[in-house]
């Protein structure tokens, strides 16, 4: 393979920079819609959000409850957010939605099983449920 000349190298770099700039512009066009979708999904799964207005536009903040000790942290998305930041928030919200759906399915299974029990079995289960944990 022949070595690149200085001119070819400059042309290649310019082409790469141009394609990266176009890709960045295309990504930036998707941010407003993705921000709104993320905020809507956060509402579905019970994640608190708030919107503030900054110089470049809106900033949507997501307040995550991490554990029962009251620890919370915040992720904020703006029009200048990097793609990985937006994908991180979207991924966490999808995971929460999946967990919520799985919990609802397990609850329905538990209700179905409980409905099939006799009254004596239900009374025994209520009385000694704390032993089953």
Which pTM value belongs to this model? 0.77
Summarize the confidence of residues 12-32 as an average pLDDT: 91
- Would you list the domain boundaries of the chain? 33-132
CB 75 within 8 A of CB 61: yes
- State the Cα–Cα distance between residues 129 and 133, nearest whole angstrom: 7
Summarize the confidence of residues 90-114 as an average pLDDT: 95
Q: CB within 8 A of 24, min separation 6: which ones?
A: none
More confident residue, 132 or 127: 127
Using the 8-state DSSP alphabet, how is residue 53 labeled?
E
The per-residue pLDDT for 4 is 82
């Amino acid at each position: 393979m022949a070595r690149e000349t200085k001119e070819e190298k400059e042309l290649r770099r310019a082409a790469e920079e141009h394609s990266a700039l176009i890709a960045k512009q295309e990504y930036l066009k998707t941010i407003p819609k993705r921000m709104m979708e993320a905020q809507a999904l956060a509402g579905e799964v019970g994640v608190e959000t708030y919107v503030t207005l900054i110089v470049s536009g809106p900033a949507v903040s997501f307040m995550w409850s991490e554990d029962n000790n009251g620890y919370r942290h915040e992720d904020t998305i703006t029009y200048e957010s990097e793609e990985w930041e937006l994908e991180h928030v979207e991924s966490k919200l999808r995971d929460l939605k999946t967990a919520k759906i799985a919990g609802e399915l397990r609850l329905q299974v538990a209700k179905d099983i409980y409905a099939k029990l006799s009254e004596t079995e239900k009374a025994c289960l209520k009385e000694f449920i704390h032993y089953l944990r």
